């Protein structure tokens, strides 16, 4: 879901249902060791309709509507076309994203194997290994930093500016992935590429460490929260953004979708006549086990956004 919690930073908050998900008690991971589940931390087990009517993965704090700001998709598409016309640069068939992972810890943190598994999960998902298409996007891990700071670990949104200013590497072409512990409702968040010029320091993606492959958040522990959030970092909106109204999510081959999906629904078709909802798409809100694909149009859009905002020809590319 899209909202702006801080000056210019949050594109998406993936949420577990507050009525059934108690994420305040975290599992313990000894430094350098495997995750030890000191207490089971259930994620949302609800079906659509729970969480006060919201789907399970779309549970949200009060006054936090899911979806983009009004008109944001249309404005983003118009600006994208203008920038592509100005740059007159070809859209590449492949994009390699230099990636830095910044692990925050208060003594608890994912093992290094889970971090590397997250990168492998990204490459498998964006490479079409689970279904759908190969998007042409690949992630090249440049390094992993580990920072012991209890406040940054437990309250990364509150300390976002200081944390990112201290840890961020590279320019708009570099994915900075921050791993910490988010609140009860939030699995991860991201910035959009078209926010970069506004505040380069805040650019990046933040994930709850328990969503990494093998993490403790049942139904959200295959690393697909990272796949989803990085989709936003590369310029994708949710499949359900704008509901059944034009321009939807701005992608021609994703059917319009009135509502986010929870769990793994069967036969969901929330905009009749436009085709069934893309419940298996990484940019919906289904359980990790239900997610498996990007579309060809999404692959093209990410590579277009790369040229317009993150490629070597864009402003600020070298820092």
Active site residue 304: no
Q: Is the peptide bond before 247 cis (omega within 30 degrees of 0)?
A: yes
Catalytic residue among 112, 229, 246, 304: 229
**8 A C-beta contact, residue 260 and residue 51:** no
CB atoms within 10 A of CB 147: 16
Cα atoms in the 13 Å half-sphere on the side-chain side of 61: 10
CA distance linking residue 148 with residue 282, whole number of Å: 32
List C-alpha distances in Å: 187 to 15, 59, 112, 279: 6, 11, 20, 19
Beta-bridge mates of residue 95: 137
Closest CA to 126 of 102, 96, 101: 96
Closest CA to 249 of 128, 109, 76, 104: 76
Q: Which residues are catalytic?
A: 229
């Amino acid at each position: 879901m899209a909202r702006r919690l801080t000056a210019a930073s949050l594109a998406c908050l993936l949420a577990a249902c507050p009525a059934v998900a108690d994420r305040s008690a975290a599992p313990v991971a000894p430094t350098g060791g495997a995750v030890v589940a000191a207490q089971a931390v259930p994620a949302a087990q609800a079906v659509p309709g729970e969480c006060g009517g919201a789907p399970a993965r779309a549970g949200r704090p009060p006054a936090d509507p899911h979806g983009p700001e009004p008109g944001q998709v249309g404005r983003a598409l118009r600006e994208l076309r203008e920038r592509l016309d100005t740059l007159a640069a070809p859209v590449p068939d492949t994009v390699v994203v230099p990636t830095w992972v910044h692990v925050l810890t208060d003594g608890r943190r994912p093992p290094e194997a889970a971090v590397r598994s997250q990168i492998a999960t990204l490459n498998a998902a964006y490479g079409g290994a689970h279904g759908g298409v190969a998007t042409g996007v690949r992630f090249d891990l440049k390094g992993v930093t580990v920072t012991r700071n209890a406040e940054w670990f437990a309250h990364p949104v509150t300390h976002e500016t200081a944390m990112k200013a201290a840890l961020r590497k590279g320019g708009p072409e570099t994915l900075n992935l921050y791993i910490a512990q988010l609140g009860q409702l939030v699995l991860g968040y991201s910035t959009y590429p078209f926010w970069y010029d506004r505040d380069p320091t805040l650019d990046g993606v933040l994930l709850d460490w328990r969503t990494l492959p093998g993490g403790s958040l049942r139904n959200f522990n295959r690393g697909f929260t990272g796949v989803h959030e990085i989709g936003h970092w590369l310029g994708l909106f949710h499949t359900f953004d704008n509901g059944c109204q034009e321009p939807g999510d701005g992608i021609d081959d994703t059917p319009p979708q009135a509502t986010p999906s929870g769990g793994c629904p069967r036969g969901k078709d929330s905009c009749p006549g436009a085709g069934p909802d893309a419940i298996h798409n990484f940019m919906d809100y289904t359980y990790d086990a239900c997610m498996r694909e990007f579309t060809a149009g999404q692959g093209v859009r990410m590579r277009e956004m790369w040229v317009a905002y993150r490629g070597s020809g864009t402003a600020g590319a070298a820092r």
